[in-house]
Amino acid sequence: FPMAGVLWPGGRSAVTVVFKPQTAEYLCTEAFCDVAGRDSRLPLGLDGHGLGPLLELCFRSLDIGAVFLGAIQCYEIVVANKGDIPGSIEHIPTKMVFGGNLTCKPETLCLLPFEMKSFIISFSSGRTGQFIEDVNFRISQSGEEQKVLLKGSIVNPTVSFDVSNLDFGCVAVGFPKTTGVRLVNQSEVPVEFSLRVPSDGFHDPVTCWDFAQAKIKPAIVPFCREFTLNPENGVVHAKSTLPIEVTLVTNTTHCHTCTLVAENKSGKLSEPISLPVVYESQVATLECRPSEVEFRFCFISYEYMEKMTLINVSNLPAYFIILPQQESSLNPFKYTVTTSEYFLQPGQSMSFTATIVPLIVGKFNQNVMMIVFGQSEPITLFTINCSTQGPNVSTNVEALNFGKLILLESKTLTLDLTNDSPIGANFEI
């Protein structure tokens, strides 16, 4: 401008040309000046470069380190406008080569001169391994593309136990013992797990209470499933712990070391973690007092009773059964006890009465047997020693003197028999 005017002889006139590019590119054109009285116009070449907004990402590479499988991580990418004009920049969605989901909010940023704003990108993946991905952006006015190199690794979330080992100590056969352990999840995602003891058996164990209540005593299976886990599987939430109850029931005496294994069901190709488990399975020690019962000068068919005491001298609970006497015509005496089975806690004692009835005359001994739950063979509870005899009958005189009698006369004398024993006596003269 001005677009027209009058140029006097020898005069000059200044024309101002304004360049206002709408795109960021090199532009060139020609302008013409039409002078009255000339058959040709005066040409003027015009060229210039259109410059877009000067927007820059504050960094070109972002190392996010280790990210848990399935976890959603958010990161900030800062954009600065270092130019003199406003501009906008947008995220270009692209498919990830490694696999996963990447979102950017907002999708577009508008920045005034010398202003700074941020994109928030969210990233997650369902695949483990190392990755490198391009996060692409474009300046809207110029079409210039910029990118951030996103790199890191996807790892399986893990759980751990809160103890280094699980020691049950000494446990009584047939008596459940429960202890606790915690599964710890330190990752930002929930972890699905399952627990097992690989060396455990398959058959259900028999507890002392099951055995005591059964009318028909169940058979004891040597290789039983000793561990009960509660819960056996489930989910440990992010940044939390989950208590696990581990119950041990043994049916045989032994020392054992095994492992409790936690498998991560959330991760792919995730290594299970193991917790050593140690225990010693024993049977309580019981003592009977007295250990021998002496019945001297016993009369046959008469009842004799002796008060007995059974003591649990160990630190373990016990369940025992006093075995009944086997029926046989050869038994020299019969015996019974007032208590046939019982539970005894550590240090506890119980009293019972043993009753015997001699059957034949002589000197005899016999063991009363019992079995403590967990023992493979019966053991001697106490021994009965007895000397038995028949009824004690005596007369008032050692001889009967009839004196001198005339033939065919009769004389009667009386002989008194006395039974000094507590049992009846059959006699024949």
Q: Are residues 209 and 292 in the same domain?
A: no
Q: Are residues 187 and 145 in the same domain?
A: no
CATH of the domain at 130: 2.60.40.10
Handedness of CA 213, 216, 222, 228 (dihedral sign): negative
200: CB partners within 8 A, 6+ apart: 225, 226, 227, 258
Q: Are residues 258 and 327 in the same domain?
A: no
Q: Are residues 331 and 254 in the same domain?
A: no
Rounded distance between C-alpha atoms, residue 410 and residue 290, angstroms: 61
DSSP class of residue 367 equals: E
Q: Are residues 87 and 130 in the same domain?
A: yes
Q: Are residues 151 and 165 in the same domain?
A: no
**What is the per-residue pLDDT for 143?**
84
C-alpha 149 chain-centroid distance: 42
In a domain, 106, yes or no: yes
In a domain, 169, yes or no: yes
Q: Are residues 222 and 301 in the same domain?
A: no
164-199 confidence digits (pLDDT tens):
999 999 999 999 999 999 999 988 888 889 999 999
Q: Are residues 110 and 187 in the same domain?
A: no
Torsion (CA) 18, 23, 25, 29 in degrees, nearest 10: -40
**What is the per-residue pLDDT for 157?**
80
Rounded distance between C-alpha atoms, residue 365 and residue 379, angstroms: 16
Residues of the chain with pLDDT under 50: 269
Please identify, among 259, 282, 305, the residue that sits at the C-terminal boundary of a domain. 282
Q: Are residues 194 and 209 in the same domain?
A: yes
Q: From the CB of residue 348, how many other CB atoms can be counted at a distance below 10 Å? A: 13
**What is the per-residue pLDDT for 181?**
95
In a domain, 16, yes or no: no
Rounded distance between C-alpha atoms, residue 357 and residue 187, angstroms: 75
DSSP class of residue 203 equals: B
**What is the per-residue pLDDT for 269?**
46
End-to-end CA distance of the chain: 171
Contact 183, 194 (CB under 8 A): no
Q: From the CB of residue 48, how many other CB atoms can be counted at a distance below 10 Å? A: 14
In a domain, 168, yes or no: yes
**What is the per-residue pLDDT for 270?**
66
Q: Are residues 222 and 303 in the same domain?
A: no
**Would you state the structure tokens that stand for residue 141, as one six-digit string?**
């006015």
In a domain, 29, yes or no: no
Contact 159, 262 (CB under 8 A): yes
**What is the per-residue pLDDT for 107?**
92
Please identify, among 135, 155, 175, the residue that sits at the C-terminal boundary of a domain. 155
DSSP class of residue 210 equals: H
Please identify, among 282, 313, 331, the residue that sits at the C-terminal boundary of a domain. 282
Query: Which residue(s) pair with 110 in the sheet?
Result: 88
Q: From the CB of residue 316, how many other CB atoms can be counted at a distance below 10 Å? A: 19
For 234, the domain range is 159-282
20: CB partners within 8 A, 6+ apart: none
Residue 213, phi then psi, degrees to nearest 5: -85, -15
Number of independent structural domains in the chain: 3
DSSP class of residue 107 equals: S
Q: Are residues 307 and 244 in the same domain?
A: no
In a domain, 349, yes or no: yes
In a domain, 141, yes or no: yes
In a domain, 330, yes or no: yes
Q: Are residues 144 and 216 in the same domain?
A: no
**What is the per-residue pLDDT for 267?**
57
